[in-house]
Amino acid sequence: MNNLFVYCEVEDGVVADVSLELLTKGRTLANELKCLLEAVVIGAGLKDIEKQVIPYGADVVHIIDDPRLAPYTTAPHASVLIKLFQEEKPQIALMGATPIGRDLGPRVSSALHSGLTADCTSLEIGDHEDKKAGKTYKNLLYQIRPAFGGNIIAWIINPDCRPQMATVREGVMRKLVINENYPSKVNHLEVAKYVSETDFAVQIIERHLEKRKINIKGASIVVSGGYGVGSKENFKLLYELADVLGAEVGASRAAVDAGYADHERQIGQTGITVRPKLYIACGISGQVQHRAGMEESAQIISINTDPDAPINSLADYVITGDISEIIPKMIKYYKQNTK
């Protein structure tokens, strides 16, 4: 009872990275809280699925396996979590801030009247004193996220309602195997107890999933552009530099909103989180939400016409000037001085 639950997403028999990252974080939090870490896996064809989650330190793995439970639709997965949480009364429930987690989380939180915080960039355990009510709360989950366009950082708590729910984007937490043979209990749930026929009213007729073609997350160098790049045309310069350096191209939300780059290249709180060896920020002002997705880069170069761009405070190198002048010079030097 009152343990920490992680909802695990599965696609084609593989548990999503974000779920393994949350199990890793959940393991640390559960140790601090002295409670158990429990994973919930809902889907179809889940034979041996526990082998993928146990190494990350799950004390209990709940599995509910039925052909109708994949691909994901909202109602059946929500029904499982709602009933399971009513039985088990977790103190914390975490899920990925993915299309699935962001569809499922609010539905579950509404049914249980529990608080949910989206897109957390950090989770911590701490106390809270409510001076007005004269009450002290021990060991709450601090759900930390940028808000208001990234201009503030908010610490959110759910003092009275359980579970304390939060979603976290892929790549924000690190995944770490703690023990391939971690002692764990597997609990197979009976589908009929949790899901009713009416939960299948929404049907998927057709699905076209594409494997992500670009791999910004895994790139060791990222050349990233912001609104200051000025146009889709100018973004080509970034691709040229990336091509020469063997890098991937990323973009800030402002650049994506302006149509300079595709959404799948967006780096930041509502996009991808990257930790490359080198991050070259071109014409990016550096809203906190963008910083949340790249500030752990080992080295950062900022190229910006504004010498006071906020991102410059993160940078190891600040180049003040126009990218159309600077990037060709970088390409030229690199071509002349390697190989």
Q: Which parts of 230-259 interact with other proteins (CB under 8 A)?
A: 245, 253-254, 257
Closer residue to other proteins in complex, CB, 179/324: 324
CB of 213 to other proteins, least distance (A): 10
What is the DSSP-derived secondary structure letter of residue 134? Answer: T
Q: Among 45, 68, 159, 188, which residue sits at the site for other proteins (rule: CB under 8 A)?
A: 159
Q: Among 42, 80, 84, 116, which residue sits at the site for other proteins (rule: CB under 8 A)?
A: 116
Sign of CA dihedral 280, 282, 286, 291: negative
Of the listed pieces 1-9, 29-37, 85-93, 152-160, which binds other proteins according to CB under 8 A? Answer: 152-160
Phi then psi for residue 237, to 5 deg, are -60, -40
CB atoms near residue 179 (< 10 Å): 11
What is the DSSP-derived secondary structure letter of residue 267? Answer: B
CB of 94 to other proteins, least distance (A): 15
Alpha-carbon separation of residue 107 from 80, 123, 134, 189, 209 (angstroms): 12, 22, 32, 21, 24
Binding mask 166-195 for other proteins (x = CB under 8 A): ------------------------------
- Look-up of token digits 């310069």: 237
Q: Is 19 in the site for other proteins (CB under 8 A)?
A: no
Q: What end-to-end distance do the CA atoms of the chain give, in Å?
A: 61
- Where in 306-325 is the site for other proteins (CB under 8 A)? 307, 310, 312-322, 325
CB of 216 to other proteins, least distance (A): 13
Closer residue to other proteins in complex, CB, 181/203: 203
- The CA distance from 232 to 276, in Å, is 24
Q: Is 14 in the site for other proteins (CB under 8 A)?
A: no
Closer residue to other proteins in complex, CB, 183/259: 259
Closer residue to other proteins in complex, CB, 47/213: 213
Work out whether strand 14-15 and strand 10-11 pair parallel, antiparallel, or are unpaired.
antiparallel
Return the biggest CA–CA distance within the chain: 69
- Where in 126-145 is the site for other proteins (CB under 8 A)? 128, 142-143
Helix (H) or strand (E) holding 185: strand 185-188
**Nearest to residue 216, comparing CAs of 289, 268, 282?**
268
Amino acid (1-letter code) at residue 29? L
CB of 78 to other proteins, least distance (A): 8
- Where in 34-93 is the site for other proteins (CB under 8 A)? 71, 73-75, 78
